[in-house]
């Protein structure tokens, strides 16, 4: 097995499983403090701690925990040693292209998966390996 194959095998092993939002970082914060997921509320009063992301070996992904009970589906792929991309079907028609491009990129930062949503970075913590 060559290095690239090993890296991708490790990458798949790393991402496959369940993840929850651990904290958010606001780019406008002077100290870039971590905001616990339970403390960051959306307009409807729900917080980010309810969101659960599950990445599967077949490169599919699901996101659940929305207030309305829906489950969003999509796909993911590894693009580099510590980088991934994902594409959620429901968001393709609902988000501006530049917003979508940043949100589709996942990076590994200090053992967490992280993605950007506008002026926020959302950090996910792995809860189970599947």
CATH number, domain with residue 103: 2.40.128.280
Tokens of 101: 């491009």
pLDDT, position 115: 92
Q: Spell out the per-residue pLDDT of the chain, length 130, in tens.
A: 555 888 888 899 999 999 999 999 988 888 888 888 888 777 777 778 888 999 999 999 999 988 888 898 999 999 988 899 998 876 655 555 565 667 889 999 999 999 998 888 999 999 987 6
pLDDT, position 59: 96
29 bridge partner residues: none
pTM: 0.85
Cα torsion 48, 37, 91, 86 to 10°: value is -130
Quote the domain boundaries for residue 64: 3-128
**Tally of domains within the chain:** 1
Tokens of 45: 């009063």
Cα torsion 21, 91, 10, 23 to 10°: value is -20
């Amino acid at each position: 097995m060559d290095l690239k194959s090993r890296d991708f095998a490790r990458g798949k092993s790393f991402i496959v499983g369940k993840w929850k939002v651990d904290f958010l970082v606001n780019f406008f914060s002077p100290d870039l403090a971590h905001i616990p997921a339970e403390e960051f509320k959306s307009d409807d009063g729900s917080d980010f701690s309810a969101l659960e992301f599950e990445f599967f070996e077949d490169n599919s992904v699901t996101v659940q925990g929305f207030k309305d009970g829906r489950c969003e589906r999509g796909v993911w792929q590894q693009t580099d040693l510590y980088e991934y991309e994902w594409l959620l079907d429901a968001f393709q028609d609902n988000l501006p292209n530049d917003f979508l491009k940043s949100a589709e990129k996942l990076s590994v930062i200090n053992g967490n998966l992280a993605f950007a949503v506008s002026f926020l970075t959302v950090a996910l913590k792995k809860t189970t390996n599947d």
